[in-house]
Amino acid sequence: MAKRKRSKKQRIPSDVAFYYPGPMWYSPDRLKTLLLFFDGIALLVPRYMKDRPEKSDPIMATPLRKAGLLHLLEPEVLVDKVATQQLAAAFGELVRSGRFDGLSKDGTAFHELSYSRLGGYGDPELAEALLKELKARKLARDTEDGVSIPMHPVVRATVLVLLAQILRPKGDELGMELSPTTDQPQLVDALCEVLSLSQPASTGGVVAFDLETVAPDLSLVPLDEVLDFRRQHLKEYKAYARNVRGFVREIGALPTRQRDKAFRDRQEEIRDLAADLKRTGWKAWKRPASFGLSIAGAAWTLKTGDPIGALLAAAGAMAGLGGESEPQVNAYSYLFAARSRYG
């Protein structure tokens, strides 16, 4: 029975872009090019918003859903008790670090965050305690609709940045590897700031790669043509995305003195892959590469006294890791964007 279950999971798309921060993408046209690099796109959508993707963007969402490329994940299920505990503890660490002390509150427009994404279904008491603390600091307000919480935009973004990492191991239950992906640079900056608090002195800290543009911007290309091209070339583009992910994992765990050489050696390999993809895109579309897929993250050996690192290494990610060596923690996010200056 167990073997049949594993076989079934293997048939589910494995490399999935876990888009954050919101339950909907910010730039639908750019998703067309992003689709070249992943088996699908996942959104964290509360149940009361379950129809929002297709109502907000039926031109993109409906065909993607029908093609099995759009996965709607429910925070009511994924943000369970363990995830809520991790979120509350990590967030508490950031509050104690003074990260939010200087935020301007007067005149700032607060943004809604669903109570389910704060852990209201996973651990209601803990979520309520977290909300109480935020309200005491004037970073959140009482709900106005019964399902969401008005929250300072910086605080809201930080919660969603943490969730994108904490929920990654949940993909195992769905037969997916969830790769946090965004088109908003400030969120990757926030992740780097969070990770910098966790890095032990023995490593070089957070790794951020502004990699070359690797694909044409397909914003104006009809979706059916993009999907046809994707069927022919998905393997090559996915290999590139996996390679840069491995780049962060390998380089991020190295001491600073070893990093420069490893960076040069691995960057040459990635540059060759990028050149191949540029040629592929040019042959198909006669357009220069103008779509970048960058990445930022860190990897380190889990050590006592590293609270944020411990929380990002969720229980699911640690399962089955044994032996004498300490398990490795890694966190990362892709950043995708069409860069108009390249033509």
Buried b (16+ CB within 10 A) or exposed e, 97-122: eebbeeeeeeeeebbebbbbbbbbbb
Q: What does the alpha-carbon distance between residue 322 and residue 325 come to, in Å, rounded to a whole number?
A: 8
Q: Cβ distance 217 to 31 under 8 Å?
A: no
Q: Cβ distance 105 to 152 under 8 Å?
A: yes
pLDDT exceeds cutoff 50 at 262: yes
Interacting residues of 159 by C-beta distance below 8 A, sequence separation 6+: 87, 91, 113, 117, 118, 151
CA 279, 212, 313: angle at the middle one, nearest 5? 120
Nearest CA to 174 out of 87, 85, 79, 71 is that of 71
Amino acid occupying residue 20: Y
What mean pLDDT is predicted for residues 163-191? Answer: 91
pLDDT in tens, 183-192: 999 999 888 8
Q: pLDDT value at position 9?
A: 44
pLDDT exceeds cutoff 50 at 128: yes
Nearest CA to 179 out of 297, 82, 77, 263 is that of 297
Q: What does the alpha-carbon distance between residue 325 and residue 6 come to, in Å, rounded to a whole number?
A: 27
Confidence band of 340 (pLDDT split at 50, 70, 90): low
Q: How many CB atoms are located within 10 Å of the residue 180 CB?
A: 27
Q: pLDDT value at position 320?
A: 37
pLDDT in tens, 208-225: 876 678 999 998 899 999
Taking all residues of the chain, what is their mean pLDDT, rounded to a whole number? 83
Confidence band of 200 (pLDDT split at 50, 70, 90): low
pLDDT exceeds cutoff 60 at 341: no
Structure-token pair, residue 155:
């605080």
Q: What does the alpha-carbon distance between residue 263 and residue 259 come to, in Å, rounded to a whole number?
A: 6
Ranges of each domain in the chain: 197-342
pLDDT in tens, 214-261: 999 998 899 999 999 999 999 999 999 988 888 888 887 777 778 778
**How far does CA 331 lie from the centroid of its chain?**
9
Interacting residues of 158 by C-beta distance below 8 A, sequence separation 6+: 91, 94, 99, 190, 194
Confidence band of 343 (pLDDT split at 50, 70, 90): very low
Main-chain phi, psi angles of 254, to 5 degrees: -85, 145
Confidence band of 318 (pLDDT split at 50, 70, 90): very low
Cross-strand partners of 113? 149
Q: What does the alpha-carbon distance between residue 47 and residue 74 come to, in Å, rounded to a whole number?
A: 7
Amino acid occupying residue 177: E
Q: What does the alpha-carbon distance between residue 196 and residue 11 come to, in Å, rounded to a whole number?
A: 37
Q: Is-above-0.85 flag for pTM?
A: yes
User: What are the DSSP calls for 93-107, one per residue?
Assistant: HHHHTTTTTT---TT
Buried b (16+ CB within 10 A) or exposed e, 188-224: bebbbebbeebbeeebbbbbbbebbbbbbbbbebebe
pLDDT exceeds cutoff 70 at 275: yes
